[in-house]
C-alpha cells in the first residue's frame, strides 16, 4: 500500500531534519566507500551551505514528509565548469535519500522528478550525480528513471610515507629517466 507524503522546501526550523537524513545518507555511503565519511564539523558546514543556498537561490533543498516525520531528502545545486567547456552549466544532484521504511513508495521518484523540473526551469541542459561504484541498488534506480552512466571516476590512493621530500626532486628524477 502506498503512503501519503508531502514534499516541500526546507524551512529554517527544519534544518534538524535535513541533518538527520543527510547523516543517514552518508552513513550508508561510508559503508560503501570510507572517503564519503563526514567531516567533524559537518553540521556547521551544512548549516552554512543551507543559508548560502537560500541567499543565492543556486539550488534547492526539499524534504518529503509523512505526517510530521521527515522521510526523504533532495539537494540540488547549480554548477559551472571552466570557461574552456562549451556546455559548462549543469545541475548536480548532491543528495537523494529516502528512509528505509518508506522506499518503493514513490518518494524517491517524486523527489527526482522535482529535481529535474527545477533544473530545467533554471535553464540547465543536464543534471548529473555521483554514485558509488558498489551501490548497485542506486544505479538500478537511476537507470529505471532514464539516467545513463556517462563517466567514471577512477581513484589511486597515495602512500604519503613514500613521497619525496621535495616535488622538484621528483621532477628531476622523471626527466633523468627519459
pLDDT at residue number 12: 87
pLDDT at residue number 172: 64
The domain locations on the chain are 6-176
Q: Taking the model in full, what pTM does it have?
A: 0.86
pLDDT at residue number 177: 57
Give the Cβ contact number of residue 1 at 10 Å.
Answer: 3
pLDDT at residue number 7: 98
The ranges of the chain with pLDDT < 50 are: none
Domain boundaries 6-176, corresponding CATH code? 3.40.630.30
State pLDDT tens for residues 54-78: 777 889 999 999 999 999 999 999 9
Q: Is residue 133 within 8 Å of residue 116, measured between CB atoms?
A: no
Amino acid at each position: 500500500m502506498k503512503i501519503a507524503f508531502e514534499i516541500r522546501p526546507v524551512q529554517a526550523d527544519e534544518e534538524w531534519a535535513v541533518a538527520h537524513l543527510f547523516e543517514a545518507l552518508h552513513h550508508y555511503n561510508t559503508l560503501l566507500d570510507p572517503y564519503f565519511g563526514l567531516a567533524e564539523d559537518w553540521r556547521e558546514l551544512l548549516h552554512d551551505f543551507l543559508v548560502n543556498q537560500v541567499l543565492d537561490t543556486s539550488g534547492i533543498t526539499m524534504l518529503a514528509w509523512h505526517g510530521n516525520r521527515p522521510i526523504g531528502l533532495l539537494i540540488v545545486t547549480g554548477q559551472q565548469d571552466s570557461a574552456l567547456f562549451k556546455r559548462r552549466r549543469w545541475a548536480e544532484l548532491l543528495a537523494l535519500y529516502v528512509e528505509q521504511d518508506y522506499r518503493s513508495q514513490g518518494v524517491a521518484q517524486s523527489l527526482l522528478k522535482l529535481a529535474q523540473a527545477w533544473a530545467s526551469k533554471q535553464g540547465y541542459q543536464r543534471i548529473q550525480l555521483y554514485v558509488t561504484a558498489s551501490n548497485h541498488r542506486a544505479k538500478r534506480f537511476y537507470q529505471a528513471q532514464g539516467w545513463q552512466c556517462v563517466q567514471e571516476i577512477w581513484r589511486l590512493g597515495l602512500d604519503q610515507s613514500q613521497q619525496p621530500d621535495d616535488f622538484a626532486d621528483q621532477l628531476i628524477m622523471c626527466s633523468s629517466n627519459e
